[in-house]
Structure 1
Amino acid sequence: MRGVDLDVQPGEMLALLGPSGCGKTTTLRMVAGLIEPSGGDVLIGGASVLGLPAHRRNLGMLFQSYGLFPHLTVARNVAFGLEMRRIRKSEAATRVTEALKLVRLDAFADRMPAQLSGGQQQRVALARALVYRPRVLLLDEPFGALDRKLREEMQVELRLLVRRLGLTTLMVTHDQEEALTLADRLAVMERGVLMQVGTGTEVYDRPASRFVADFMGVANMLEGRIAGCAEGIALLDLPGGLRLAATHPPIATGSQAAIAIRPEALSLLPSAEASPTTIPGTVEQAIFKGQGLDVWVGTPVGRLLARLDRAALAEPPAPGTPCALRYTPARAILLPGPPESP
């Protein structure tokens, strides 16, 4: 970990996002009190919690593993932590009822975990995290064990619940779509370093580096040199004699840079005249993706991906068909500097 400095606002959900081993879970565990940082501080509500054990930080924690006791009912599972804290039985019963109502499981209080679906078990684990009335909710890959449909349903439920409670939340995930769905802001990490912090729109549309551009979704990355800049438009010379445009403040002519173009920013044309916003090519393959169609196109600057709306196509383009890819400069992301070291 190197210089990780994060500030989560009251009522905000912030997602720590990055590949495996980047340090996001270590950061979360330092906040939780499960790892002692070698330097710096952890503040909650403006006060340092260094030296406080995890059970005294008043944090709710939800992990990928539900960790439910199979021999206890739903209500007893939720109440277990309160019993360990010696909360009076009457108050504990009230809190358990409130927590189960929040996750819409109050009718399941007497069920055993084995009688519940995976989504219901995860909601019990969430109720157990909320029953403490925590200052901060910590989520570590909370929906990783669920299938896609159930995971998406739980994401919507959690977002609505956290908003309604105004609960400050720090979440760890490697799933870009989950982070964009749930979080108010994203903190993208790589090798223990914060690469960019911002809203989902900022991080996705204006990535600070090639790593962030690529990690936040498939990006067609085109490397070249700046040919010139005028009126907010930069021109990039690429191999094969191509010259492409992107909007950007002035950047020195001759310097290395790349244009990243999201697949959904590309449209497919039968052919087009040469211009700074068109790339000639040949269809290599078209892959059915439900409402969308992924079209791979061979071009002078390599294989590029266009993600198209099937409703806008009369029929999928056949392999070997000549075509052109077109985009608008405003949707091209200019990234100054040479390629990043692996």
Structure 2
Amino acid sequence: MPIDGTPTPLTPAPVRIFTSLLCLAICDALGAPAEFQARGTFPLITTLQPNANFNLPPGCWTDDTSQALCIAESLLAGTWSLEDQAGRYVKWWKQGYLSVTGRCFDIGTATRKALGIWARSPDSLGAVTTPAEEDVLLTVAGKLGERQYQGNGSLMRVLPIALAFWKYPEEAGRLARESSRTTHPNEMCQEACEFYVRVICYILRHTEGQECHDLSFGKGDLLRMMRWWEWKDEELRRRLGDGKFVNKEEGEIKTTGWVLDTLEAALWVFFNTSSFEDGAIKVVNFGDDADTVAAIYGGLVGAWHAKEEGFWVGRVKEWRDGLVKREIVEGVAERLKATEFKPMAGYGNNILIE
């Protein structure tokens, strides 16, 4: 299938930031009812539906959005601290912080195990870097660094780092890798986070004039970025590095919880559809880990297709309007887009916010 050659609209970065985070939540909620369902075994999903997995009404987002909001709130607090991020995840897990229902109703295996380690750390809810933080990270790495823990739980939440540090792509990539260490320390998980964040930064920089303000900037440019990316993980390089995955048949695309399958699926849908709406419908109907793959797709496609006018229309507007506790997501998105983040002098130092 030929790649859609339509260039991304020249939309201001604040609009893209807001739309990207909101689209993550929308796609999460849209895909949640299809989670755990085999592809082709359920009626086509085109609207927000009840989530029978957890007895939730239509429009409820899940752990993908909650943890992304945790990272965003940690950044907006003005410091870079993995301990603070982990503390917010623990608070979500134990107390329902930033949950659409006020409780944690779904959590991944690796995340639960990692947060159990953080919860036993006496300073796990602190807001500054301490020697204890690195001790916990080493414990997490020792227990959850093997191949069987190459899940998508850190990739699904990493978007706010790109939205905050899009002007500084190298810094954003470094911080994305760091953020994965709290629960998913495996190298593949870290690199998937770094790459995804760099793609979002690439989009925002090109459309805001940070690179070239190219009126013809299109998806082909993103494919070229994938080809020159210096992949560290060999499996990621083999599956994604040459860009040929975009030519796979739909039946070859897997939406398991493996981070490589997840990233490939989200990218495949992005490259093989021409609108947010068409891609969202396609990705959620893949089933399996539909909410997470859809959330990752949503963050990417929201950044790409965002427009000041004409985006929130028709079915897309219906999805937005049906999002439960939409004001929480929009409130965080508004603050993210209004905040000027600057790179840090070093790990653990305060983020300078103007």
TM range (shorter): under 0.3
| TM-score of the pair, normalised by structure 2 | 0.25
Higher relative contact order (CA 8 A, sep 6+): 2
Q: Which has the larger radius of gyration?
A: 1
Name the structure with the higher strand share: 1
